[in-house]
């Protein structure tokens, strides 16, 4: 039996997902691909070093508000 589920997302999130979705796939196929560990989607192009620097900057920013 095939069940259907609705997922509410903001317009901004829907726009981001639409840019990642392939033209020839359904939303179900896209979300299945997104959730599949065997075929990860690399959205960003940051190196590990860049990501570490960004995490550090976010942490410092949060600390400054405490």
Tens digit of pLDDT at every position of the chain (66 positions): 677 888 899 999 999 999 989 999 999 898 888 888 665 556 666 677 777 788 888 888 777 766
**Which pLDDT belongs to residue 8?**
92
Buried b (16+ CB within 10 A) or exposed e, 24-57: eeeeeebeebeeeeeeeeeeeeeeeeeeeeeeee
**Full-prediction pTM beyond 0.85?**
no
The answer to whether 28 and 4 are in contact (CB under 8 A) is no
């Amino acid at each position: 039996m095939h069940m259907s589920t609705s997922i509410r997302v903001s317009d901004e999130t829907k726009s981001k997902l639409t840019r990642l979705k392939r033209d020839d796939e359904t939303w179900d196929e896209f979300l299945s691909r997104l959730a599949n560990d065997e075929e990860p989607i690399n959205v960003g192009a940051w190196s590990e070093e860049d990501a570490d620097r960004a995490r550090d900057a976010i942490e410092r920013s949060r600390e400054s508000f405490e």
